[in-house]
Structure 1
Amino acid sequence: MTGPLWLNLSLIAFTAATFASAPALARPTLPFGVRVPARRTGEAVILLARRRYNRGIAVGAVVACALVFIDGLAPEMVLVGLVAACSLLGGLASRSIAAAKREEGWYAGTRQAVIADTSLRSDPVRPQWILLAPAALLTVVTAVIGLSKGTTNFSTVLTQILVLVLIPPLTIAISRARPEIDAAQPSASASRYKEYLHGVLSLLLISAGCVNATMLVVSLQQWEFVETTVPTTIVGHLPLVAAFIAWIVFSVRAGDAGHRLSPTGDEPETRYEQRDDDRYWHAAGMVYLNRNDPALLVHRRVGTYWTLNLGHPIAWVVLAAVAVTGVLAGFGVVTLPAKGG
């Protein structure tokens, strides 16, 4: 986080805002990653946990801003400390709600169920692959420019190719991940989830083009087609900024798993509650481990993204491959794209 003071303060403010917005964007029945019945979402312990959490975030942000003015204290350490403090606050809030839920028997007398929507298998949400065309075209254009220059440094092109290789399987995996459907409102929640999934897949493919557009500008700077000036660098990063803003706007509008979206048609609530599956979730809804669940990817309880089911054997194969790649890169056997090419 080394850089001008305004940048350090901006990163602290953004980090605090990100953590502070998480409870507001979370599904009402999943406060701080704890599954609660719909009729218990207004419990005093939940409201108190949110107030304490928000106060803690505010105090942490103020302290972090004060610390960046201390000479000799690395701003990176301040940011890491703020992230750790915010994560700890979230964990404490999750534990307090889970304890109240357990002690007061919030699920006692409820009828729990799990709902499946077979239409998501027979008529799945299909990615709009045409949105990946700009990313592919930008890769070709960058490679042609590099060849015309006669350069031997194609690290940015390799980064573009890596994006093209990784995005399609990730898109397919997300489109086939287990859907988030609420047993209390199965039709409405399925409708919301489909709209949400369509938006996520489209943004993912568009973001690939944004990354490759930035890599094109970086390539032009490296190959001395354009001067490396502040205006050029800003213009080069505008696609990434646009993609980032688009993700933020979508996340605020849709909420986690699309619960803020308007469903198609009205549906009365059923007599069922979503099954209490807290025993499979750890670290305040961030880690999922269920050996009896065949799903490889599941939507996290916090945030607009998915996570691996660590109870699935393939999940450990994926993690092992990432770990091996990291070790090989550390020993110089595999060369990863460097920052700025």
Structure 2
Amino acid sequence: MTWLYLALIAFTAAAFASAPALARPTLPFGVRIPARRSGEAVVLLARRRYNRGIGAGAIVACVVLLFDWLTPEVVLLVLAGIYSLLGCLAHRSIAAAKREEGWYSGTRQAVTTDTSLRSDPVRPQWLLLTPAVVLAVATVAGGWFTGATDFSTVFAQILVIVLTSLMTVAISRARPEIDAAQPSVSASRYREYLHGVLALLLISAGCVNATLLVVSLQLWGVVDTTVPVTIVAYLPLAAAFIAWIGFTVRAGDAGHRLPRAGDEPETRYEQRDDDRHWYAAGMVYLNRNDPALLVHRRVGTYWTLNLGHPIAWVVLAAVAVAAVLTGFGVVTLPAKGG
């Protein structure tokens, strides 16, 4: 199993290294900066130090693992913690230079919105959720024909469909990421980006339910729990994972790497500096004056809750209650071998 943990170390290093590489140029390590400052020496130095730290951490982790100095789980946990610390240090160095040198002084800050996203929103392709529903129905039918009594996987499939639907609606209505310097181009890119995210989200639900169908057959003794069957079970998840990676690399954070839909001269405005509302190196958003419940994370292809919104705490409380109930066995998760 050593090779598996070595692969996990490589994957962890690649994941942390790709985050700043795919981020918007005006958001290095979660710090909002003017576009003309993206090539500053402090930003380039922070990137070099971060990448060197990623490489050195991966090498040390492999050595520790090969010599069995720590358990693999501890190695991976410590490695993720060190990489997170490196990101925080890079964030602090750029934020300090921005503050001390007054990067936003003399700039005209603005916020841009695209009203067409309300009048002509990006509509989810709900037809893509059909495979997930069909697979859930097929699982129910299979359990009924085999006389199964454990339908925990079916409940999991239904939960996947419900949560995916809720997430799709919420993301489609989330506040768009539009750059005040290039409003038309960024709005067009974001629309294409959002279309791809929603499509992948619905397709991924089908992949998860396909895996749960095979797990159900294993639970009910219809198929044996062998290596080939296990590989087949997780192939849909692997396909969804690869699709998300490909899309993320192509689109970039909030779609900034997508091709330009026409030429547009830059405006005289810079995107408003809103660093004061972001915490934990740009990972947590809290703004009581922002009516948006979901906002796009500064790093990564996903959204986060606005902790300044009351509904966000209701959602977090519901998740915490579900986790506690699961921990005490009130809510059971599907497990192979019954």
TM-score by length of 1: 0.97
Counterpart of 1:142 in structure 2 is: 139
Distance 1:92 1:15 in 2: 19
Size of the aligned set, in residue pairs, is 338
Distance 1:70 1:185 in 2: 53
Report the secondary structure of 1:298's partner residue: strand
Report the secondary structure of 2:66's partner residue: coil
Q: CA deviation at 1:220?
A: 1.6
Counterpart of 1:35 in structure 2 is: 32
1:100 corresponds to which of 93, 97, 100: 97
Residues 78-115 of structure 1 deviation map (CA, whole Å, 9 limit, x = unaligned): 00000000000000000000000000000010000000
Once the two structures are overlaid, the 10-residue window that deviates more, 47-56 or 325-334, is 325-334
Counterpart of 2:324 in structure 1 is: 327
Identity %: 78
Matched, 1:229 2:215: no
Residues 141-190 of structure 1 deviation map (CA, whole Å, 9 limit, x = unaligned): 01101110001011111111110111101100000000000000000000
Distance 1:147 1:185 in 2: 57
Counterpart of 2:197 in structure 1 is: 200
Give 4+ residue runs of structure 1 displaced > 6 Å after superposition: none
Matched, 1:170 2:175: no
For residues 8-27 of structure 1, what are the structure 2 equivalents within 5 Å?
8-27=5-24
Mark the runs of 5 or more structure 1 residues left unpaired by the alignment: none
Matched, 1:287 2:251: no
- Letter of the 2:325 partner, please give it: L
Does structure 2 conserve the Cα–Cα contact (< 8 Å) formed by 1:158 and 1:337? no
Distance 1:50 1:325 in 2: 39
Distance 1:289 1:264 in 2: 33
Distance 2:207 2:32 in 1: 36
- Letter of the 1:314 partner, please give it: I
Counterpart of 2:310 in structure 1 is: 313
Distance 1:200 1:241 in 2: 17
1:340–1:23 distance in 2 versus 1, CA, 3 Å: farther
Q: CA deviation at 1:67?
A: 1.2
Counterpart of 1:239 in structure 2 is: 236
Q: CA deviation at 1:58?
A: 0.5
Counterpart of 1:264 in structure 2 is: 261
1:55–1:162 distance in 2 versus 1, CA, 3 Å: same
Counterpart of 2:72 in structure 1 is: 75
TM-score by length of 2: 0.98
- Letter of the 1:83 partner, please give it: A
2:271 corresponds to which of 271, 274, 294: 274
Counterpart of 1:85 in structure 2 is: 82
Distance 2:195 2:289 in 1: 28
1:74–1:339 distance in 2 versus 1, CA, 3 Å: farther
- Letter of the 2:129 partner, please give it: L
Q: CA deviation at 1:339?
A: 6.9
1:192–1:95 distance in 2 versus 1, CA, 3 Å: same
Distance 2:299 2:77 in 1: 20
Report the secondary structure of 1:68's partner residue: helix
Counterpart of 1:183 in structure 2 is: 180
Counterpart of 2:46 in structure 1 is: 49
Does structure 1 conserve the Cα–Cα contact (< 8 Å) formed by 2:293 and 2:312? yes
Q: CA deviation at 1:331?
A: 2.4
Distance 2:336 2:83 in 1: 28
Report the secondary structure of 2:123's partner residue: coil
Q: CA deviation at 1:327?
A: 1.7
Q: What RMSD, in angstroms, separates the aligned Cα atoms of the two structures?
A: 1.2
Distance 1:133 1:79 in 2: 37
Residues 247-266 of structure 1 deviation map (CA, whole Å, 9 limit, x = unaligned): 00000000000000013221
Report the secondary structure of 2:181's partner residue: coil
- Letter of the 1:214 partner, please give it: T
Once the two structures are overlaid, the 10-residue window that deviates more, 114-123 or 156-165, is 156-165
Report the secondary structure of 1:224's partner residue: coil
Counterpart of 2:214 in structure 1 is: 217
Distance 1:320 1:264 in 2: 42
1:161 corresponds to which of 149, 158, 163: 158
Distance 2:330 2:137 in 1: 27
